Amino acid sequence: MITELGHFALILALFVAIIQSTVPLIGAARRHLGWMAVGRSCALIGFALTALSMLALMHAYVTSDFTVINVIQNSHTDKPLLYKITGVWGNHEGSMLLWVFMLSLCAAAVALFSDNLPPALRARVLAVQGMIAVGFLLFILLTSNPFLRTFPPAPNGQGLNPVLQDPGLAFHPPFLYLGYVGFSVAFAFAVAALIEGRVDAAWARWVRPWTLASWCALTVGIAMGSWWAYYTLGWGGWWFWDPVENASFMPWLVGTALIHSSIVVEKRDTLKSWTILLAIITFSLSLVGTFLVRSGVLTSVHAFATDPERGTFILLLLIVAIGGSLTLYAIRAPALKGGGLFAPISREGALVLNNVLLSCGCATVFLGTLYPLFLDAVGGPKLSVGFPFFNRTFAPMMVPMVIAVGIGPMLAWKRGDLLGALQRLWVAYIATALVVLVAFYVTYGGPVLAVLGLGLSAWLFTAVLTEFAERIRLFRVPFGDSVRRTIHLPRSAYGMTFAHLGLAVSVAGFAASPWAQEAIEILKPGGTISIAGYHLTLEHVDRVQGPNYTADDASIRVTNGEKFVATLHPERRFFPLQQQTTGETAIRTNFLADLYVALGDSDTAGDWTVRVYWKPLVPWIWIGAIIMAFGGAVSLSDRRWRVGAAARAFRRGPQPAPAAGE
């Protein structure tokens, strides 16, 4: 009964979305306020209906309703409650429902927090969101319905893939989808602006908070996914250039370009058609990512049960959504007139450089990901493009970008003084040189690239702090004045500082990876492994009973010289239902380095394969990502996004550009 309610709610949501995508659009064209207002109510009703549908499916999972095919295929009575709930999106159908739920959440948020938007723009934005919802609701209802029943009911379910039975499943997909789908708002704003033929500072100011929020969610989502892979897969890697990872990374790269180029639109009233294009591409890449994951055209560790019929449907969706919006772009964008002119060396120039590098980086990832598909389509050999390609092409492109991130914010708008900025960064040169020298001395004979990477991180870190010190005129005005400036600095300035610092922290984490050490040994109880000054002793391995698995739990005593450090407990879990074994790694971190232990198989003689990794600075990768997302959130709390501020600024026209270090 409840399942049918969920099903009907989803069908109703489809009809509401059809109304949402048509009536407000006609209303906006005819300037009929009543028709425009329909968009708002539809978005809210649509959200309520999809939420109901989501809850209904959750109910089926929690109560283990084995008349529902989706529950049979992905759940089991023995599964802990957390995984009964998160298992809802641990499969194709449920995750599409989560996707649509997030989409309706975004539409409802636009409907609620858009009082300062002109009614016509709001109506058009909501209509575009409605169209996306129609596409995906149709997709779910026609090809991937999670509410289908079967009779007679199954005695029990087939359980969830053991790899997914991890708390990571509770957070990683929702954040990732919120990020993916959140970019639909920027997309809808871009399409609405193309329909109206007008892009101005006010538009940029409205769209920016939505872009920032989705960017934060995507940053967190990707970081969590990477961390999850790191602690679950058991060989210490944190990024695999897997097609599906790339599918989430590409919108992130272009989305990052978008949040920077929309600053230029807002402050300087230029780069308009480029920003619109970025908004379209960001969401298009989210859609392409969905296509790649669900259609099975590329092999990936994330492969869902794939089905060519679904692939065809999503491809049609892509052609309508991306093809349609790019056609509109081709027609309307030439008419968008740029405003402010600027010299190549200027804040705008630096942001353009950022955009160029990020877009080229994304293009590289795109080519690397899809090259096997292109080659295969023309009958070429089967191959996959791995680490070497990405490390040789993507990484070198990001080096100049990280260097430029340090300099860009020091340049004034319109025309900057590069030499002056470089002179004011003297602290950063000293810090970089010091870090490089010390690192080179400490790791003499080791990988040189890692040393340079660490220098890059030090450069960015100190350059960002220098820029901040300039803003508050530290040591130039009395200290009290600096404190006052610190307090009155806009939140967006803080946001930028945090985000760039976060990047510096992550870069250090990436750079240090060549220093990692690993040791693989076959140990009897009592045997030891030594790595990076630690001694690990396998004390004993116990058989432990979990809720739906049995585990071999190893007790590994870690000492550093004579000093006891910790006892680590890596596990090997055997899930009898799926006849599958998973590893639970044990990680001891002091935030400077991780000691990472994974338990391998045992042989009949009672020997255990134990893998140990020592990974310096690896936690910084995710700490940096969290700082970046935090920076985004701080920027999001800037008061100029809130009610009124945008409208006032709109009357005044584009704000005069604040000079660097103002």
Partner 1 sequence: MKRLIYLLPLVLFLVLAAYFAVSLRPNHDIHELPSAMIEKPAPSFDLAGLGETRPFALSTLKGHPFIIASWCVPCRIEHPLLMRLAEQDHLPLYGIDYKDRPEDGTRLLATFGDPYRQVGMDRDGRVGLDFGVYGVPETYVVDSTGVIRRRFVGPLTAETVDKDILPLLKQLDQS
Our CA angle for 94, 95, 101, nearest 5°, is 90
Instruction: List the x/- string, 608-637, binding to partner 1 by CB under 8 A.
Output: -x-x--------------------------
Give the residue with the Cβ less far from partner 1, 375 or 404.
Answer: 375
Is residue 323 within the footprint of partner 1 (CB under 8 A)?
A: yes
Q: Determine the Cα–Cα distance for residues 519 and 201; give it in Å rounded to an integer.
A: 57
CB of 394 vs partner 1, minimal distance in Å: 20
Q: Does the CA dihedral 369-324-49-189 come out positive or negative? A: positive
- Sole binder of partner 1 in the list 370, 407, 451, 621 (CB under 8 A): 370
Stretch binding partner 1 (CB under 8 A), from 166-174, 353-361, 491-499, 596-604: 596-604
Q: Which range touches partner 1 (CB under 8 A), out of 6-14, 105-113, 297-305, 542-550?
A: 297-305
Task: Give backbone dihedrals phi and psi of 304, rounded to 5 degrees, phi first.
Answer: -80, 170
360 touching partner 1, by CB under 8 A: no
Which of residues 295, 354, 369, 466 is near partner 1 by CB under 8 A?
A: 295
Q: Left (φ > 0), alpha (ψ -120 to 50) or beta: where does 225 sit?
A: alpha
74 binds partner 1 (CB under 8 A): no
CA distances from 96 to 5, 87, 104, 135, 136 (A): 18, 13, 12, 12, 8
Which helix (H) or strand (E) is 611 found in, with range? Answer: strand 608-616
Task: With CA atoms as reference, report the closest residue to 15 among 122, 145, 130, 139.
Answer: 130
Q: Does residue 161 belong to the site contacting partner 1 (CB under 8 A)?
A: no
Residues 529-588 that bind partner 1 (CB under 8 A): none
- Position 297 contacts partner 1 (CB under 8 A): yes
Say how far apart CA 196 and CA 127 lie, in whole Å: 13
∠ CA 432-438-444, nearest 5°, is 125
Of the candidate residues 1, 34, 382, 488, the single one contacting partner 1 (CB under 8 A): 382
Please pick, from the candidates 253, 277, 464, 617, the single residue that binds partner 1 as defined by CB under 8 A.
Answer: 277
Span near partner 1 by CB under 8 A; candidates 61-69, 273-281, 455-463, 648-656: 273-281
Identify residue 49 by its one-letter amino acid code: L
Which of 80, 167, 308, 576 contacts partner 1 by CB under 8 A?
Answer: 308
Is residue 315 involved in binding partner 1 (CB under 8 A)?
yes
Name the strand (E) or helix (H) holding 553.
Answer: strand 550-560
What minimum distance in Å lies between the beta carbon of 331 and partner 1? Answer: 8
> Which distant-in-sequence residues (6+ apart) come within 8 Å of 604 by Cβ?
none
Long-range contacts of 31-37 (CB under 8 A, 24+ apart): 31/120, 33/119, 35/123, 36/119, 36/120, 36/122, 36/123, 37/119, 37/123
Binding mask 192-231 for partner 1 (x = CB under 8 A): ----------------------------------------
- 487-526 residues near partner 1, rule: CB under 8 A: 520, 522
* Distances, alpha carbon 100 to alpha carbons 92, 139, 147, 536, 594, in Å: 13, 10, 15, 48, 38
Q: Name the site residues for partner 1 (rule: CB under 8 A).
A: 273, 277, 280-281, 284, 288, 291, 295-299, 308, 311-312, 315, 318-319, 322-323, 326-327, 329-330, 333-334, 370, 373-374, 376-377, 382, 520, 522, 600-601, 603-604, 609, 611
